[in-house]
């Protein structure tokens, strides 16, 4: 298979395995989604979903969040790791959303990425899952699988995102990035497969004998 053929096969296979895909982070509005994605940095979605109910019970919008003492936010979100940095970011972005955006999450990549604690990946998730705009958020897991599947030679998530966007139809991006994440967790994890065991790896590279060493993002 060449790269285009692999992409078509992978797209078809993932649609078969995951015809419907749930959004992994629980949320009820765009502000909750933004905060949940911010908390998910270097933390599992499962842990985030354990922490956010208590946080959102106290404040599910910027106005209420700004009224919570910073130390209270920190104590709640501490299990997610990077507590001081994340709690400060949540408090500060809440203040900015109130003063600059009338308490609403901006529907704009550039404005989102200006918010404290919000990088390109977080902004992409919010634009994709919150607003429905085509985006292809690439985390370390997608970066790893894209290399194992021969879809990119990118040295970082920025290059990988560009390669994947060029390979897959724009209308598939929002669903596909989640499908790849779920497949990676279930069949092709960081500490398993190594490009040799799962069905997609075997189909794309049936003659592969040596484990693939991926370039970390």
**Enzyme catalytic residues:** 121, 139
Closest CA to 56 of 84, 70, 83, 35: 35
In 3D space, the residue among 104, 180, 153 whose CA is nearest the CA of residue 172 turns out to be 180
Helical packing angle, 30-39 and 83-101, nearest 10°: 150
Token pair 């404005």 is found at 111
Q: Are 158 and 121 in contact (CB under 8 A)?
A: no
C-beta of residue 162 within 8 angstroms of C-beta of residue 138: no
* Per-residue buried b or exposed e for 166-189, using 16+ beta carbons within 10 Å of the residue's own CB: ebbeeeebbbbbbbbbbbbeebbe
* Alpha-carbon dihedral angle through residues 154, 203, 170, 161, given to the nearest 10 degrees: -10
Which pair of structure tokens corresponds to residue 49?
């979903």
Tokens of residue 180, six digits: 């790849």
Nearest Cα neighbor of 24 from 36, 15, 11 is: 36
């Amino acid at each position: 298979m060449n790269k285009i053929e692999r992409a078509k096969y992978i797209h078809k296979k993932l649609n078969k395995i995951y015809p419907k895909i749930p959004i992994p982070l629980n949320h009820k509005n765009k502000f909750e989604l933004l905060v949940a994605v911010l908390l998910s940095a270097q933390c599992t979605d499962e842990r985030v979903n354990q922490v956010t109910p208590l946080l959102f019970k106290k404040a599910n919008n910027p106005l209420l969040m700004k009224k919570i003492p910073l130390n209270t936010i920190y104590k709640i979100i501490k299990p997610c790791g990077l507590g001081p940095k994340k709690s400060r970011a949540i408090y500060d972005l809440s203040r900015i959303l109130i003063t600059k955006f009338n308490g609403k999450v901006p529907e704009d990549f550039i404005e989102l990425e200006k918010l404290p604690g919000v990088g390109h990946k977080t902004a992409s998730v919010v634009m994709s899952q919150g607003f429905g705009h085509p985006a292809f958020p690439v985390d370390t897991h997608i970066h790893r699988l894209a290399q194992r599947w021969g879809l990119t030679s990118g040295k970082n998530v920025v290059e990988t995102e560009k390669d994947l966007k060029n390979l897959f139809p724009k209308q598939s991006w929002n669903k596909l990035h989640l499908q790849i994440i779920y497949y990676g967790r279930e069949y092709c994890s960081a500490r398993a497969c190594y490009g040799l065991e799962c069905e997609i790896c075997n189909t794309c590279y049936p003659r592969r004998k040596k484990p693939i060493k991926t370039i970390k993002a």
